[in-house]
Amino acid sequence: MYFRSQIKLWQYVMSRNHWILSIIIAALPAVSGCLDKELEGVSVGGIDLNASSVVALSPSLTADGSLGTIEVTVVNVLGYQVPGTSVSLVSNRGASDTITALSSVTDAQGVARFTTASTSAGRSTYTAVIESVNRAISVTADVVFTAGPISALKSTILVNPSSISLTANETAEIRLTALDAYENPITTGGETVVFTRTFNSGESEGTIYPNPARDNGDGTYSATYTPTKSGTTNYIGFDINGASGDFATIDVTP
CATH number for 87 = 2.60.40.10
User: What domain range includes position 87?
Assistant: 44-146
Predicted confidence pLDDT, tens digits, the chain (254 residues): 444 554 454 454 445 555 444 444 444 444 344 344 334 445 566 999 999 999 999 999 999 999 999 999 999 999 999 999 999 999 999 999 999 999 999 999 999 999 999 999 999 999 999 999 999 999 999 999 999 999 999 999 999 999 999 999 999 999 999 999 999 999 999 999 999 998 888 899 999 999 999 999 999 999 999 999 999 999 999 999 889 999 999 999 99
pTM, 2 dp: 0.78
Domain count, the chain: 2
Nearest alpha-carbon partner for 124 in 51, 61, 50, 49: 61
CA distances to 6, 9, 144 from 2, rounded to whole Å, are 6, 11, 85
The answer to whether residue 38 is domain-embedded is no
Are residue 160 and residue 140 in the same domain, yes or no?
A: no
Looking at the fold, whether 125 and 211 belong to one and the same domain comes out as: no
Is residue 36, in this structure, part of any structural domain at all? no
Q: Could you tell me if 162 and 215 lie in one domain?
A: yes
Are residues 193 and 131 part of one domain? no
